Structure 1
Amino acid sequence: MTKTYSRRTFLKKILSTAAAGLAVVFGGYGYSRYLEPRMMEKNELTILSPKLPPGFDGIKIVQFSDTHLSPFYTIEQLEKVVDEVNLLSPDIIVFTGDLMDEPNSYNETNLISPVLSKLNAPLGKFAIYGNHDHGGYGTDIYSNVMDLSGFTLLRNEALPIKLLDQTSIIIAGIDDLMLGQPDYEGTLAGFSEEQFVVFLAHEPDAAEQAAGYSVNLQLSGHSHGGQVQVPFYGALVTPPFADIYVEGLYQVRENFQLYVNRGLGTTRIPFRFLSVPEISIFTLKRTKN
């Protein structure tokens, strides 16, 4: 039997469906604009390698990235990040670029260093340039802020991180691929196969060239995980040099892993959807050959 509807019932169903659709739209707007951007995941990973000296077994590296300080990501939010990182008791802290969204127009630059200087890491705090750190005549602004914050800013250079027993691992950082002058050869050449090398590169697709060198762990940001993702599809848009590697852990080649951090802030649009901001924590573990 065919079911019939009165005009009133039909209109009521149409209006109910429309109302439900609007609720989904506006609910999604509220979530992606006000809720998810203020969330923060802490993702823990273990990095295994026979190249680690015994003293580095259990050493913890904490990475944060892409804060994009602006009216949409505030100093107060940065203070919470600092508190969360310190609670993790890191041995090494790395920041992989894009501190301010527009450095030359950000009017609270003087408030950043007092916050970042509270970060504690006995084996050092290291940073690299992102494209936004160079953009808007920000190169010197960013350098000054990170220096005052107690970070070592790596720009096409590599340094040893030494323990009291004089054993070491290498930390290397390359200039931004988009607006800087990256030098892979000058940064990564000359390391022996026995050395454990951590490579900081803002753009994750730097791994394609870094794979030709003795790199064991690359830490990157830049992609924001797409910032807005579609279920069962993934990121709608990724920035240049984040086309191959978008988020999470990748095995680039044997003994070379890449982790792409989704970052903390937003850029262009103040929305995140299915791309929750994160801090990543890496525990280094020595394995037998």
Structure 2
Amino acid sequence: MNRRSFLKKALGSFLALLGLSGGTYYYAKEIEPILLHINKNRISSKKINPAFQDFKIIQFSDTHIGFHYTLEQLHELVLKINGLEPDLIVFTGDLVDEPHTFQWDDKIVNILSKLTAPKGKYWIYGNHDHGGYGTEIVMKVMENAGFHLLQNNHTTIDVNGAQLTLAGIDDVMLGKPDLQSTLTEANPELFTILLAHEPDFADQAVNYPVDVQLSGHSHGGQVRLPFIGHLYTPAYAEKYVQGKYSLNDDKLLLFVNSGIGTTRLPYRFLCKPEIHLYTLEHHS
């Protein structure tokens, strides 16, 4: 039995188990999807200028609004993020589950515009934002909400004259990612953070002057079982699924966010929704 067949059978067995266990089904569908976890990490590097000591970055990802995740829940998320007082906010893709059928209005813009960070708000495309789904409307919504798109380009974040590089690539599945052009004219001596929706892109990013990659897309598997782990992840999230990874002797750190919403199936089991809070520190 190959891995795909095994995963299908395992998922089918798990859903059957949910059907037999009303309590488990209720927990996976109604309870765990709203149990937000704040995943706190300190990122230490000698390349981080002392001016960025205790600089806070919030990453949120994969809200998939419209598929069992509401605008009311998004509003609650915004309040929680603002309560953490981030210096910088990044969104790593998949805002709405089906942009081409979503009933767009000003509500989503008004909610996202309430997110505040003194050093800005940045975002990248995910596969559900892109292609035939709604590339232009998602761009317009995020722009109106005060987010800056990083699509095969980079910017510098400045604190008291010190800088770091924040870069973002186009979506791997439905866009045209080009890390070479993304980092054109970027200073390789600066600490560099890359936003890439699909985590498996790290195997390419490790060949460039990138120190940290922040990704989503995997949902952490969304459904995880003891001793087995995740049952299924989408393409380009098959190698790196959840949490922190170190590539090439710490040349590149990869953080994979488990996301906020759900897709395909409205369940989370042993895989809470999360936001990441990264605190930078200078390492001499």
Report the TM-score, using the length of structure 1 for normalisation. Answer: 0.89
2:143 partner SS? helix
Question: Which residue number in structure 2 is paired with residue 270 of structure 1?
Answer: 266
| Deviation of the 1:189 alpha carbon | 4.7
Letter paired with 2:144: L
Deviation by residue 1:124-160 (Cα, 9 ceiling, x = unmatched): 1000000000154310011001000100011000111
What letter is aligned with 2:262? T
User: Any residues of structure 2 matched to 1:75-94 within 5 Å, and which?
Assistant: 75-94=71-90
Matches within 5 A, 1:141-152: 141-152=137-148
**Alignment partner of 2:175: what SS?**
coil
* Cα distance in 2 for residues equivalent to 1:143 and 1:235: 32
Contact 1:49 1:255 in 2 (8 A): no
Q: C-alpha distance in 2, partners of 1:180/1:39? A: 32
Alignment-derived partner of residue 30 in structure 2: 34
Q: Indicate how the Cα distance of structure 1 residues 135 and 33 shifts in structure 2: closer, same or farther if over 3 A, else same.
A: farther
Equivalent pair of 1:102/1:135 in contact (CA under 8 Å): no
1:155 to 146, 151, 161: 151
CA contact (8 A) 1:102 1:136 kept: no
Return 5+ residue gaps in structure 2 as ranges. Answer: 1-16
Residue type of the partner of 2:243? Answer: G
Classify the secondary structure of the residue corresponding to 1:131. Answer: coil
**Cα deviation code 1:50-73 (max 9, x no counterpart):** 001121111000000000000510
Provide the residue aligned with 2:180 in structure 1. 185
Structure 2: how far apart are the matches of 1:248 and 1:124? 25
Partner of 1:194: 189
Aligned residue runs from structure 1 range 237-252, under 5 A: 237-252=232-247
Compared CA separation, residues 24 and 123, structure 1 to 2 (3 A)? same
Summarize the alignment of residues 216-227 of structure 1 with structure 2, pairs less than 5 Å apart.
216-227=211-222
Q: Which of the numbers 52, 55, 68 marks the counterpart of 1:72?
A: 68
Q: 1:110 aligns with which of 106, 110, 115?
A: 106
| SS of residue paired to 1:70 | coil
How far the C-alpha of 1:281 sits from its partner, in A, is: 0.2
In the alignment of these two chains, the number of paired residues is 267
Residue equivalent to 2:9: none
Match of 1:258 in 2: 254
Correspondence for 1:51: 47
Once residues 193 and 185 of structure 1 are traced to their aligned partners in structure 2, the CA distance between those partners, rounded to angstroms, is 12
Instruction: Name the SS for the 2:58 alignment partner.
Output: strand
> Residue 40 of structure 2 aligns to a residue in which SS?
strand
CA-CA distance at 1:110 after TM superposition: 2.6
Q: Does 1:167 align with 2:162?
A: yes
- In structure 1, C-alpha distance between the alignment counterparts of 2:209 and 2:122, rounded to whole Å: 20
Q: Using the TM superposition, name which of 268-277 and 252-261 deviates more.
A: 252-261
- Summarize deviations over 1:164-214 as a string: whole Å, max 9, x none: x32210000000000111111111355444210010000001100000001
Which has the higher mean CA deviation after the structures are superposed, 65-74 or 249-258? Answer: 249-258
Please, which runs of 5 or more residues in structure 1 have no aligned partner? Answer: 1-20
Q: How far, CA to CA, are the matches of 2:199 and 2:122 in structure 1?
A: 17
Shift of 1:111: 1.3
Answer with 1 or 2: which has the greater Rg. Answer: 1
> What's the TM-score, normalizing by structure 2?
0.91
Contact 1:41/1:277 (8 A) holds in 2:
yes
User: How has the CA–CA distance of structure 1 residues 259 and 109 changed in structure 2, closer, same or farther, with 3 Å as cutoff?
Assistant: farther
